[in-house]
Structure 1
């Protein structure tokens, strides 16, 4: 069975720029409207200046006018799940609800871990926490 979200994450992973760690990552997200946006990690010789695949996918979504994430797939290498880093979990939270599904797959697209955003980022702080906040 074909899974367009997994396929998009794997295609993005194939385009990753990871000459230093050699750890390619691709991510794809599906918006509430059904659009798919992907991103890959892009490393930099000044290590903290690199960007994560999830951040790239979110930026592509924002550029296309999307606003809500319905599901995320992260494709890494190796036998261990490539979970989003802490910063990316918070970036996903900006556009996703705590019950949003996040799937981690290997380089062949096999499911390694399935979790909700709340399981990955418990007790999160999101835009809804600011609703009605006094200035």
Structure 2
């Protein structure tokens, strides 16, 4: 992973809107086009009906015209290693492969790397999602 993906995930933390959980999260995706798409979690008063950082980044990627996740980094302000939640793992799997690396970061950089297969060994599969 290059440092720019980590920096994008860390930078996304500043945009988190987490007044109910107090748990800001940032995520950044490198897509097949080489561009980086970032997102933060965004909560609302009907908590927990907000959305996580990973789907925000995925939405940015799709709206930017990309379709495949090459790698993804996740960082949380209050947890040294914050893996994507179960729902986010399936959302990531829709646009990734089993071999796609997921980097768990703290404020200094990557601390642990998983593949999607390790994080979601029994992902729902269709002809659209590998």
Give the Å deviation of 1:128.
2.9
Under a length normalisation based on structure 1, what TM-score does the superposition of the two structures give? 0.88
The change in CA–CA distance for 1:48 and 1:21 in structure 2 (over 3 A counts) is closer
SS at 2:127 equivalent: helix
Q: Determine helix, strand or coil for the equivalent of 2:66.
A: coil
3-state secondary structure, aligned to 1:74: strand
TM-score, normalised by the number of residues in structure 2: 0.91
Unmatched tracts of structure 2, length 5 or more:
none
**Offset at residue 14 of structure 1 (A):** 1.4
Deviates more, 1:120-129 or 1:21-30: 120-129
4+ residue segments displaced more than 6 Å: none
Q: Size of the alignment, in residue pairs?
A: 129
- Hey, what does 2:83 align to over in structure 1? 83
Which stretch shifts more, 108-117 or 33-42? 108-117
> What's the CA shift for 1:77?
2.2
Considering only aligned residues, what root-mean-square deviation do their CA atoms show, in Å? Answer: 1.8
Q: Secondary structure at the match of 1:89?
A: helix
Runs of 5+ unmatched residues, structure 1: none
Structure 1 residues 1-135: aligned runs within 5 Å: 3-106=3-106, 108-128=107-127
Deviation at 1:129, TM superposition (A): 7.2
> How far, CA to CA, are the matches of 1:128 and 1:80 in structure 2?
36
